[in-house]
Amino acid sequence: MDMLWNGWGDPAKAAPLPDSVTGLLRDLLGVKPRSTPALALEDIEPPAPTAGPAALAALAEAVGDAAHVRTDPESRIRHTRGKSTPDLLRIRAGDTSDVPQAVVLPATHEEVLAVLRACAAHGLAAVPFGGGTSVVGGLAPERGAFVALDLRRMNRLLDLDTVSRTAVLQPGLRAPEAEALLAEQGFTLGHFPQSFEWASIGGFAAARSSGQASAGYGRFDEMVLGLTLATPEGTVETGRAPRSAAGPDLRQLILGSEGAFGVITSVTVRVRPLPEARIYEGWRFASFEEGAAALRRLAQDGPRPTVLRLSDETETLIGLASPDDVGTSLGRSDAGCLAVTGYEGTPEETAHRRERAAAVLTAAGGTPLGAEPGERWAHGRFSAPYLRDALLDVGAFAETLETAAFWSRVPELYAAVRAALTDTLTRAGTPPLVMCHISHVYENGASLYFTVVSAQGEDPVAHWTPAKHAANEAVLAAGGTISHHHGVGTDHRDWYVREAGELAVEALRAVKRRLDPDGLLNPGVLLPTD
């Protein structure tokens, strides 16, 4: 099944905006519903490809069959940009300026190498395409004609080592497919980001994804034990041991490289036994500050839940932690801040960990709300992006952004980003609702994930851009990282260069030049072009 071409997720799950949300928009933001529908697919005409028959023939030869080189408008439109709100707004309006020349579907590492050679020979750039879920402009290269290198045919579990608890996965496996293959043999990866239903293993690695159970299972980059990278200059193979002192960790050079150094063609990951027991619960804290302190206690001194999240006052009031409930509890003045804790493992270990964590949370001021809020969160955990499409249909705007910092910096970072978003959009005449949650905790810091809802401006992308830039500036000024788990893409690149520093970026560009001397891989994504 293909994702909705101009929005999020399973087209069958698309639904109009719930009345509760319509009321919320009207009452809180003064957004009166108006019809702002997307164009129909058949009304969008991408420009004819400039890549000639020789280039297409070379690509077909690389993948062994012309059927795996697609140039039909629908295939090209479906591989145009990713799933950020600006991406959706552009494609809904029929803007095909970032359309690929063709969509190429290799089935093996060798075919990927051959595609890259064909691209080099014909002056085409190549953009690796997994689930197509980038929300940072990671699929919109900066210049030139390019092909989308769709990895969906590389969707096998290549190996499962039950002694070492490692699995070798192909990059085009979507997360549910990977989980299903592992579950057949009793294992799980434990990686459940909000994009779970659509995102791919290769994309998780390339963009350093982090899932909702990261407190227990770790970030995706912590799960990766080995990677194979196909580059225009050949193959890089990494990962002979879980840890090594043999030089810099090359895996960590490939993780986060966002297709700029090469195409990830296999990923060796750690796997764990499928949990026998699962418990999700809700907790109430009087304030975000109090709740954050409680989360910090668990992150630093344990025991560590498998899932650990905390919504701020606004997100709790709106009910965004459980998208089906948005707007239904508005007006409760005692909502406080909702935390969700989850525990997975063996029944005995899970029960014991839960009991000790509950004692810590209680001591930190938390009030247990029982299983219901936890289960509601778990039920709706992948639903929020669907809501966005309905908002875009009625003249509203919704977008998310995220960062992370050391614990001592978190309060300032939270305040600074909220202020930047609120001030910019209010000055522009569309006062926003800014919600936030902590969804990933570490001993030394935490992530902050912001959701912004406002009225659309006349030109919605141009209207949003200054707010996004102001948020980026606030992140850097307050000591945060420009992305905790969405990545850099083209949207964050200029701020990434400032965060990493010119010399470090120059070192990475030296790597790129060595692996990709023609600069054909994702030009302008992650790293500036020359």
Residues 475-514 that bind a copy of itself (CB under 8 A): 479-488, 492, 496, 499-501, 503-504, 506-511, 513-514
Q: What is d(CA 423, CA 174) in angstroms, rounded to the nearest whole number? A: 39
Q: Which of 40, 105, 111 is nearest to 79 (CA)?
A: 105
Site for a copy of itself in 364-403 (CB under 8 A): 403
Least spacing, CB of residue 114 vs a copy of itself, in Å = 17
Nearest 5°: phi and psi at 342? -135, 145
Could you give the 3-state DSSP secondary structure of residue 357?
helix
Q: How far apart are the first and last CA of the chain?
A: 39
The answer to whether 349 contacts a copy of itself (rule: CB under 8 A) is yes
C-alpha 218/C-alpha 145 separation (Å) is 38
Footprint on residues 291-320 left by a copy of itself (CB under 8 A): 296, 300-302
User: At closest approach, how far in Å is the CB of 482 from a copy of itself?
Assistant: 5
**What string marks each residue from 217 to 236 as x (binds a copy of itself by CB under 8 A) or -?**
--x-x---x-----x-xxxx
Which residues pair with residue 337 across a beta bridge?
Answer: 285
Count the site residues for a copy of itself by CB under 8 A.
86
CB 129 → a copy of itself: shortest distance, Å?
18
Read off φ and ψ for residue 77, nearest 5 degrees: -65, -40
Out of 250, 277, 286, 351, name the contact with a copy of itself by CB under 8 A.
Answer: 250
- Which of 248, 333, 334, 458 binds a copy of itself (CB under 8 A)? It is 248
What is the distance between the alpha carbons of residues 206 and 142, in angstroms, rounded to a whole number? 18
Q: Taking a C-beta distance cutoff of 8 angstroms, is the pair 218, 204 a contact?
A: no
Closer by beta carbon to a copy of itself, 86 or else 203: 203
Q: Does 247 bind a copy of itself (CB under 8 A)?
A: yes
Asked if residue 404 binds a copy of itself (CB under 8 A), the reply is yes
Q: Mapped to the 3 state alphabet, what secondary structure does 482-504 carry?
A: CCCCCCCCCCCHHHHHHHHCHHH
Count of other CB atoms within 10 angstroms of residue 368: 14
Looking up tokens 């980059």 gives 221
Contact assessment for residue 203 and residue 170, using Cβ atoms and an 8 Å cutoff: no
For position 161 contacting a copy of itself by CB under 8 A, the verdict is yes
| Residue 233 and residue 101 in contact, taking contact as beta carbons nearer than 8 Å | no
Q: Which residue, 77 or 116, has its beta carbon nearer to a copy of itself?
A: 116
CA 209 and chain centroid, separation? 6
Block residue for tokens 């809904």? 92
Which lies closer to a copy of itself via its Cβ, residue 201 or residue 453? 201
**Interaction pattern, residues 166-195, with a copy of itself; x per rule: CB under 8 A:** x-----------------------------
Is residue 442 a contact point for a copy of itself (CB under 8 A)? yes
Position 240 contacts a copy of itself (CB under 8 A): yes
Partnered with residue 363 across adjacent β-strands are none
Q: How far is the CB of 269 from a copy of itself (least distance, A)?
A: 9
Which of these ranges, 44-52, 241-249, 388-396, 451-459, lies near a copy of itself under the rule CB under 8 A? 241-249
Nearer to a copy of itself, 17 or 526 (CB): 526
Q: How far is the CB of 123 from a copy of itself (least distance, A)?
A: 23
408 binds a copy of itself (CB under 8 A): yes
